[in-house]
Structure 1
């Protein structure tokens, strides 16, 4: 136990520890289907790279420049959305990340906000790209209707 009386490994849930130390999702993906990056006031940065298959989030990877709590939050966000429909990924909130991790220190709740902010930017990118690929609602039988 350290001088503060807090034993790091005994003081955290197994889920928090797994998310803080798991590294298999930490990678940059070339040409992701969606991308989002956010830097917090603390100076930490989170980047998400999403791969989509038929509106399902088939793969999530991320990169961080930050602390262990930011890593735990980014990993937890990835865990919560991988395999889900794009439209359902918006359900992830900082509060849900905090509950999921169980023992994120209150002074690090901003890490959950940072991770979710970067995630929302990636989801917004996915929606924007999806809309740009959809045929215009004004197209009829391959012809564009004149604008009024």
Structure 2
């Protein structure tokens, strides 16, 4: 009985080891390159062509943004310029994810209204903070 268990254990270990050593090493190298590229630029979101996903979201030129979006950006972030725009085709329209030169990220819905503003370590413009939150922060 002990010999049977020992033999099955050795066979299982051999099978697992052979699974790790063979197969597609190119795919493993690609995964490693992708992970290294993401680790190299985690805050900027920049990736290399090898690390870019196969179905990457389409980008547009900053000059092709809808007027409500450009007006919003000029009003609330006058010192920053648009560095990168990524689009997401949703049912019934296009959503825009805009990255500014100062690192701020602003997400816009299909109607061109802002949904999310991420200023990272910088202050969010006061006009964008809901009054209830501003009051709470001021009193506490």
TM-score for the superposition, normalised by structure 1: 0.27
Quick one: higher RCO (CA 8 Å, sep 6+), 1 or 2? Answer: 1
Higher-Rg member (1/2): 2
TM-score for the superposition, normalised by structure 2: 0.28
